[in-house]
Amino acid sequence: MDKLIKNGIGRKIEGIEYSKESLSYGKKLFPGLIIKQASIYDLPYKDNSFDLVLCTEVLEHLEEPSKALREILRVGKKYLVITVPNEPFFRLSNFLRGKNMSRLGNDEGHINHWSPRSLRKLLNQNKISVKEIKLPFPWIMMLGIK
């Protein structure tokens, strides 16, 4: 978010956070940014409100990622950037660093595990055309077009 603001990208940048604790932290970190508490399944915006929607480190936590994507598409006009951990590399890197050992490197809140192929499939099933994929270790970044 900081890079977007510093580089003058976007006339209007807003954030959504489900957790009250994270919302409070985000407001302290970015006091000039509008951050609202909401569910990704019910975003407080009109249809086609944003040219670009960023969804970073979210889909791995969701019980219904397709439902979330449909809501993101509703509020987005055209572009979508999604980032998720690249599995199994993310878990392996955690395990090798001694993190989350009892769960074999899996973060407690991760209920979905994405590979580039599975993420592309999810996006295609939701009528999102994948324009570009980047794999900065241990992440997946995808640019999609509605």
- CATH fold of 46-145 reads Rossmann fold (3.40.50)
Give residue 50's pLDDT: 94
pLDDT, one tens digit per residue, over 109-142 is 999 999 999 999 999 999 999 999 999 999 999 9
Across 30-138, the runs of DSSP E, i.e. the strands, are 34-37, 50-56, 76-85, 129-134
Q: Which residues contact 131 (CB under 8 A, 6 or more apart)?
A: 143, 144, 145
Q: What ranges do the domains of the chain cover?
A: 1-38, 46-145
Give residue 7's pLDDT: 78
pTM: 0.86
- pLDDT, mean of residues 33-41: 94
pLDDT, one tens digit per residue, over 53-108 is 999 999 999 999 999 999 999 999 999 999 999 998 887 787 888 888 888 778 88
Give residue 90's pLDDT: 83
